[in-house]
Chain A
Amino acid sequence: MYENFVEKYRAKSYSELIGQDKAIADVQQFLKDFPKKKALILHGSAGTGKTSLAWAAAIENNFEVLELNASDLRNRQKLEQIVRPASIQKSLFKQSKVILMDEVDGITGTDLGGIPELERIIEITRFPIIMTCNDVWQSKLAPLRSKSKLVEMKPLNTATITEILRRIAEKENINRDMGFFTKIAIKSQGDLRAAINDLQSYANEENLFVDTSEKRDVEESIFIILRKLFKERNDFLDLFDSTKMSLDEIFLWIEENIPIEYKNEALVKAYYALGKADVFRGRIYRDQSWRFLVYQNIFQSAGISYSKPSPLYGFTKYEAPKRVLKIWLHNQKTAKKKTIAKKYARFVHCSVKRIMRDFDLLKPIINNPEVQKQLHLSSEEIEFLNAHKS
């Protein structure tokens, strides 16, 4: 009987998940601390074990699982009907449950209102929510990001994958030498699922030829795209079709690297074009006028390329975008500031925004223990204030 190896050998417990000890510990801690944080996002490239880890966590803790993945329609109405009640009602068969929203980056245009509804569910849920996605830094996931604990799953190294392949081969009576497993492991680029699939399909192949150009490495292709865009002068209307990266993500890469490549007039022109691309993107977001996507695309490609009067030469080292990460780290660091500002704002009939802006001036006032008592500041919040006494 034909049986898919990937499903057959899917890890069902923590001990079967190899090379992800850090992520396992993080997930276990999250479940222990619940409801301190109500949701968790497992992110990482394909085949690193995100879904397996979510299931393993449920099995280890004897939780029921409610899973919705990209094959299900996940618009607002659907989530309201299925997930919202499930997030409040007790589990029928087990002592608790976990809600698994697989591939949240797959919640797309047709799933209208899906993300905002998910946000609301996170607020009210009585059970832990685990989400998985490849790229957690996409702008559409920003609202979920701020409400969730983030756990990254790193691609497995070649040695680990080789070892896993060897064990499966042993059980399946596939007699191949270690060189064969290593080749498959290298080809997989850290994607265990791809490796296991390859093992199954190449098991009886005489000569395994590994074509290195077959590697699908997103990092590499964005560098090629940037090099073309910044060095050459061309229309580049189809340039972004060659990558799986979203237009928003490419936008951030371009933004990060414009000043590394362009100076003076070219710098101004390039940012003018990128700014125009953003204006169209704003209109798309606001009115859902997807028609404007072509304009965003053109300003983001041809607009950038033609910003310079002539082609550029030489090697440039491009940087990965840092802004989104920087903002996120900052917000993590100052989350307490915001909760303090909220309490204070309510008390003095003022907006949180204004209090955040005047926070430094107000600090000596909030440092007064009497005031802290009156605002019902938590011990963590007081600790934050003490640590940031200027």
Chain B
Amino acid sequence: MVHSEIWTEKYRPSKFEDLVGQQEIVRRTKSLVQALNIPHFLFAGPAGTGKSTLALIIVKELFGDSWKENYLELNASDERGIDVIRQKVKDFARTKAIKNVPFKVIFLDEADALTREAQQALRRTMENYTNTCRFILSCNYSSKILEPIQSRCVIFRFKLLEKKDISEIVRRVAHLEGLTISADAYDAIYEASEGDCRRAINLLQATASVSLNVNAEMINMIAASGKPVGIRVVLDYALAGDFINSRNKLLDVMLKESISGSDVIKAIQKEIWNLPIEPEIKVKLTEKTGEVEFRMIEGSDEFVQLQSLLASFVLAGQGKAV
């Protein structure tokens, strides 16, 4: 275990046996690793379900202490261009592994963020260096990974952790950190985490930094403070006909929470159904939202597209068709 005061690292499992949940995936990867018969992997599933952890366990099992020299981790959502594939990945893949394992491992996290061109480049790289290098790709949606890449990988689909899994992890961490946890806090952590283990542990640590006695009320308070707020306010301004304040607020929220346009549009799409307007108009607004999301992909300026959506909310606020 890594010694760290960041609990997500401190308690990150380093053996197959320590993993909670995803039992079938763990069983199959373990037997593949033990047979030294590693294909390329594609781990698909939501955040905080153990994709990176499993990748790390695999390389640690393979290489033991020298895992760091034989392992390259890249986060595609931060470095999404073709240059990354052409330079970093190829340079690393070219050379042989140092240990008695015949290949190295590249972990490409959030690979669905790679551009199409980068994925095309990756496809060839995977083939050309298959003797010296294995890839583990992770993604939220496997549909965003090119078909030819998918076909070169063994795909494992990670599921959101269940309540009993999250509770088990929380119990372990709390025990080792000497925390007292009330029964209702388990529910609160699970609710706020939405099955995301990283979020659950972060929430626990953030709350524990305030008090070693953790209860539901505190969890909910901390969870609310870390939650992106403001989209509803943006929509309320628009519905009330105050477009200028609505868009100013939107820019503030996007900057303050560092969220992208596509995050905003997802939040709006969900929030529509909580708004005090006629159901028929909700359907119309949803259609409009979908259209704007599509335009956002094609266009160059997300903020302009979002403004055009807010303009529709102004009409909706007057009960008019949009």
Which residue in chain B gives the minimum CB-CB distance to A356?
Answer: B258
Q: Which of B26-34, B171-179, B199-207 contacts A (4 or more CB under 8 A)?
A: B199-207
Interface majority SS (helix, strand, loop, mixed), chain B = helix
Contact A268 B56 (CB under 8 A): no
Contact A374 B308 (CB under 8 A): no
Contact B305 A278 (CB under 8 A): yes
Contact A360 B209 (CB under 8 A): no
Q: Which of B73-81, B94-102, B123-131, B145-153 contacts A (4 or more CB under 8 A)?
A: B73-81
A158 to B255: give the CA distance in the assembly, Å: 40
Contact A272 B308 (CB under 8 A): yes
Q: Which of B14-22, B156-164, B182-190, B296-304 contacts A (4 or more CB under 8 A)?
A: B296-304
Contact B258 A362 (CB under 8 A): no
Contact A365 B202 (CB under 8 A): yes
Name the interface residues of A266-294: CB closer than 8 Å to any CB of B.
267-268, 270-272, 274-275, 278-279, 281-283, 285
Q: Is A368 at the interface (CB under 8 A from chain B)?
A: yes
Contact A267:B314 (CB < 8 A) given known A323-B303, A359-B258, A368-B209: yes
Contact A255 B304 (CB under 8 A): yes
A234 to B308: give the CA distance in the assembly, Å: 22
Residues of chain B contacted by A326 (CB below 8 angstroms) = 251, 255
Name the interface residues of A364-382: CB closer than 8 Å to any CB of B.
364-365, 367-368, 370-371, 374
Residues of chain A contacted by B276 (CB below 8 angstroms) = none
Which of B52, B209, B263, B295 has a CB less than 8 Å from the CB of A279? B295
Q: Is A353 at the interface (CB under 8 A from chain B)?
A: yes
Q: Is A242 at the interface (CB under 8 A from chain B)?
A: no
Contact B9 A274 (CB under 8 A): no
Contact A278:B206 (CB < 8 A) given known A352-B75, A390-B225: no
Residues of chain A contacted by B198 (CB below 8 angstroms) = 348, 350
Which of A259, A283, A364 has a CB less than 8 Å from the CB of B244? A259
Instruction: Output the least CB separation between B276 and chain A (Å).
Output: 19
Contact A283 B298 (CB under 8 A): yes
Contact A364:B75 (CB < 8 A) given known A259-B243, A274-B304: no
Contact A371 B6 (CB under 8 A): yes
A271 to B258: give the CA distance in the assembly, Å: 24
Which of B6, B78, B243 has a CB less than 8 Å from the CB of A347? B6
Name the interface residues of B27-63: CB closer than 8 Å to any CB of A.
47, 52, 56
Contact A361:B225 (CB < 8 A) given known A275-B292, A374-B6: yes
Interface majority SS (helix, strand, loop, mixed), chain A = helix
Which residue in chain A gives the minimum CB-CB distance to B308?
Answer: A271
Contact A267:B299 (CB < 8 A) given known A351-B110, A357-B257, A365-B206: no
Q: Is B120 at the interface (CB under 8 A from chain A)?
A: no
Contact A351 B244 (CB under 8 A): no
Contact B75 A350 (CB under 8 A): yes
A357 to B77: give the CA distance in the assembly, Å: 13
Contact A361:B56 (CB < 8 A) given known A283-B298, A349-B109, A351-B75: no
Contact B75 A255 (CB under 8 A): no
A296 to B251: give the CA distance in the assembly, Å: 24
Q: Is B167 at the interface (CB under 8 A from chain A)?
A: no
Residues of chain B contacted by A362 (CB below 8 angstroms) = 202, 206, 226
Q: Is B259 at the interface (CB under 8 A from chain A)?
A: yes
Contact A268:B75 (CB < 8 A) given known A278-B299, A367-B209: no
Q: Is B132 at the interface (CB under 8 A from chain A)?
A: no
Contact B202 A267 (CB under 8 A): no
Q: Is B210 at the interface (CB under 8 A from chain A)?
A: yes
Residues of chain B contacted by A251 (CB below 8 angstroms) = 301, 304
Residue of A265, A275, A364, A365 with highest tally of chain B CB at under 10 A: A275
Contact A278:B202 (CB < 8 A) given known A352-B78, A364-B210: no
Q: Is A213 at the interface (CB under 8 A from chain B)?
A: no
A366 to B104: give the CA distance in the assembly, Å: 33
Residues of chain A contacted by B251 (CB below 8 angstroms) = 323, 326-327
Residues of chain A contacted by B299 (CB below 8 angstroms) = 275, 278-279, 281-282
Instruction: Output the least CB separation between B88 and chain A (Å).
Output: 14
A365 to B300: give the CA distance in the assembly, Å: 36
Q: Which 5 A-B pairs have the closest CB atoms?
A: A361-B226, A271-B308, A282-B300, A356-B258, A282-B299
**Contact surface of A with B, Cβ cutoff 8 Å:** 251, 255, 258-260, 263-265, 267-268, 270-272, 274-275, 278-279, 281-283, 285, 323, 326-327, 330, 334, 344-345, 347-354, 356-365, 367-368, 370-371, 374, 390
Q: A285-B300, A349-B52, A374-B5 are in contact. List 4 more A-B contacts (CB 8 A).
A: A278-B299, A283-B298, A347-B6, A367-B209
